[in-house]
Amino acid sequence: MGGFQGKINAAFEGAEGALGKSPLCDAIVAPFGGDYTLPSAACSGENNGAIIGIAPGTYTETADITMKEGQVLISLSSENYGNVQIDLGTLYKITGAAKCKFENIQVKSTSTTGLNLFTISGCDYIEIKNCYFDISGAQDATVFYNTSATAAEKILLENIKVYGNTAQENKLGDITIRDGRIDNIWSDNQVCPVTNAGDHYFKISQPATGYGRNKISNINIILPNTQGGYSNYSDHYVLYIESKDSLVEHIMLENENFGNNSCNGIWIKGCSASDIKLQGFGGSTATHNNAGLYIQSGWGYPVVSDITAVNCKICIYVASDQVALNNMTLIPGGGYNGANLLYALYVASGDESVFSNCVWSSYIYIASSSSEYSNFQSDETPANSTIYVTTGSNTFNNFRQSTGSAGTGWELSGNKNRLDNVVTDKINDTGTDNIINGRIESASDPTANNDRADNIIRGDTWLNSNTGILYRCDDNALGAAVWKVIDSGSPGYDIETNVASPVTCESGTQYDNNGSAGPVTYNLPTAAAGLAVRFINVSGDDMVITPQAGDTIFLQDGNTTTSVTMSNAGSVLELVCRAANEWYAVAVSGQMVLA
């Protein structure tokens, strides 16, 4: 073992077992032959900055261990956790100090009175390394603690093992830190960690003002059995991290006995994270943020990537705008009951966010706006899936989905969403102006204001479901979009030659004046959406097309008229009606005279 611990080991072993002071130690704690017999006495008796070596053995404390600034408590053994055990019993605790070190030591507590076993309030630059905390006999104990008003800066927690949590309310930590590093933390829990509303098993917060800037990595928490006794609080999480401009990586949380009343996984706020693996969380029957991973609104633009969540009621719950999530495997499931569905992804809010590269099953719920979702592939087993989109102006690209017997495909109740390269069995579009694989279906015609602000791109088509007219967007400029008719949607007309003026026209009929002996007047039916009539001048005599009183004919050049006269042979006029009182000329050739 290198570094400071290695120097201590060498000095101790070089003394051939003698417990005289090492040149690197100011005092020795030992069962016999040392300067002190208990660590509490050594910390009290030595000055600031003293290096206190502890010989192998078990030390049953009779007082609190209160460290002074810069003091070092360190095992004199090279074995893991130093073969040194400090038994705090039911009454005693450790209080750190600034710049102190606590290294290679086992700590045991059987407190049942809510003790904070190691308090680090105001302990800037404290280091706690290579330590083992046994809380198998404790209840309502917190291993690491400091008050939010006295944040610890530049702390180091490294290679920490917390073992034997067999009682509810024990916690690994409740700490407020800045510029700290937490690395390689392992813990197991035999029961649900907490039951009081708002509690979390390991809570890491930043000060009320400023930044967190912490690095938190390699946390592994295993819960062999947390199903029983849970109180259905929806805001319980095993790991809670609130830390601006911080990095979280390599997190594994595993609940081996998941199902109803399981606790929740990890709650992050204001920080980026990667390599997160979760199993068996979010079993409350409530719908509020019961999830494997909960991302809350905070600060900045968090990026969360490389996430695997299986057997969770809700794999990921997003309540944060401007977040980026990518590389996700989300397979909800487990023995959960109640009326609530299993969700791979539940986006309660996530405006202006990006979600990409996801393998998923079951259900997705989206209430974001102006966000992008791309490269989603549904898992084949189970194949029952539904994507609910309740808001608008989102973009979805490259989705492959197998709905199965229970799934309903896409349920689009939001407006102006764009779906490109979407492969699915079913799409139920009850919203307005949603673009599905490049096409919009609407009961009205497009206008110049149907532009790129509506997620429209050049080349999109717009089908008027009433008239059958198909338009193409040739320019999506804001407020100046250009739509061109590319298919008049004309029905197959009945052909009628009628020169007995006046002619009462019927929808769905093509009229010509073959054999006429002079002008013929054709009276259109009262305008109603979906009507269509075509006229062809064969003889060269005037064909006078007259709408009913109050109806208007709209021509392609923007003019309107209450009568059209077709004067030369070969002229064609096709009229369709989009709404009451409105006839539109969708096909015009030859000379026309307007009233």
Tell me the pLDDT tens digit for each residue of 56-115.
Answer: 999 999 999 999 999 999 999 877 776 899 999 999 999 999 999 999 999 999 988 888
**pLDDT for residue 166:** 66
pLDDT at 27 over 80: yes
Alpha carbon separation from 293 to 310, 514, 580 (Å, rounded): 11, 76, 53
**What mean pLDDT, rounded, does the chain reach?**
84
Q: Closest Cα partner for 315 from 296, 304, 329?
A: 329
CA dihedral 61, 67, 70, 71 (to 10 degrees): -20
Under 8 Å CB-to-CB from 13, ≥6 apart: which residues? none
- Calculate mean pLDDT across residues 278-306: 76
Alpha carbon separation from 26 to 52, 75, 208, 416, 457 (Å, rounded): 6, 13, 39, 73, 75
Mean pLDDT confidence for 28-48: 96
Within 10 angstroms of residue 583's Cβ, the number of other Cβ atoms is 27
Lowest mean pLDDT among 65-79, 224-238, 291-305, 510-524: 224-238
Lowest mean pLDDT segment, chosen from 152-156, 194-198, 495-499: 194-198
Nearest to 336 by CA among 281, 377, 391: 281
The long-range contacts involving 336-345, CB below 8 angstroms and separated by at least 24 positions, are 336/259, 336/260, 336/283, 337/260, 337/285, 338/260, 338/285, 340/285, 340/287, 340/313, 342/313, 342/314, 343/313, 343/314, 343/315, 343/317, 344/315, 344/316, 345/315, 345/316, 345/318
pLDDT for the residue 227: 43
Contact 187, 162 (CB under 8 A): yes
> What is the tens place of the pLDDT at every residue in 403-448?
665 567 899 999 999 999 988 878 889 999 999 988 898 888 899 9
Per-position DSSP letters for 58-124, written without gaps between them: EEE-SS-EEPPTT-EEEES--SGGGGEEEE-TTT--EE--TT-EEES-EEE----S--EEEE-TT-T
C-alpha dihedral over 397, 402, 403, 405, to 10 degrees? 170
Instruction: Give yes or no for a contact between 425 and 441, defined as CB atoms under 8 angstroms apart.
Output: no
Residue 22's pLDDT band (boundaries 50, 70, 90)?
Answer: low
- Integer angstrom CA distances of residue 265 from 259, 288, 294, 391: 13, 14, 8, 27
Query: What whole-number distance in Å separates Cα of residue 544 and Cα of residue 521?
Result: 5
Q: Note if the bond before 547 is cis, omega within 30 degrees.
A: no
Helix, strand, coil percentages, rounded to 5, for the chain: 5, 45, 50
Mean pLDDT of 568-588: 86
Answer for the pair 553, 528: CB distance below 8 angstroms, yes or no: no
pLDDT of residue 167: 62
**Range with top average pLDDT, 5-9, 162-166, 174-178, 282-286:** 174-178
If you write DSSP's letter for every residue of 525-561 in order, what string do you get?
PPP-TT-EEEEE--SSS-EEEEPPTT-EEEPTTS-EE
Decide: helix, strand or coil at residue 370. coil
Q: pLDDT value at position 301?
A: 79
DSSP 3-state of 172: strand
Q: Quick one: average pLDDT of 147-161?
A: 87
* 553 pLDDT above the threshold of 50: yes
Q: Which two tokens stand for residue 458?
A: 């050049």
Q: Residue 23: is the preceding peptide bond cis (ω within 30°)? A: no
- Kindly report, residue by residue over 503-532, the tens digit of the pLDDT: 999 988 889 888 888 999 999 999 988 888
Residue 331: count of CB within 10 angstroms of its CB: 20
Of residues 309 and 496, the one with the higher pLDDT is 309
Among 32-41, 344-353, 563-572, 578-587, the range with the most confident prediction by mean pLDDT is 32-41
3-state secondary structure of 336: coil
Q: Which helix (H) or strand (E) holds 181?
A: strand 181-189
Q: Where in the chain is the domain with CATH 2.60.120.640?
A: 494-594
Higher per-residue confidence, 305 vs 403: 305
Check whether 572 has a pLDDT greater than 90.
Answer: no
Please give the residue that has the higher pLDDT: either 122 or 232: 122
**Mean local confidence (pLDDT), 18-37:** 80
pTM over 0.85: no
Name residues whose C-beta falls within 8 Å of residue 582's C-beta, 6 or more positions apart in sequence. Answer: 527, 551, 552, 554
Question: From CA 400, how far away is CA 379, in angstroms rounded?
Answer: 9
- pLDDT grade, residue 207 (50/70/90)? confident
Q: What pLDDT shows up at residue 184? A: 96
Contact criterion met (CB below 8 Å) for 412 and 388: no
Longest dimension (CA), the chain: 135
pLDDT at 330 over 50: yes
Collapse the DSSP code of 8 into the 3-class scheme (helix H, G, I; strand E, B; otherwise coil) and give the result.
helix
Higher-pLDDT residue of 388 and 591 is 388
**Which CATH number does 494-594 carry?**
2.60.120.640
pLDDT at 44: 97
pLDDT higher than 70, residue 180: yes
Question: ∠ CA 265-266-271 to the nearest 5 degrees?
Answer: 170
pLDDT at 337: 47
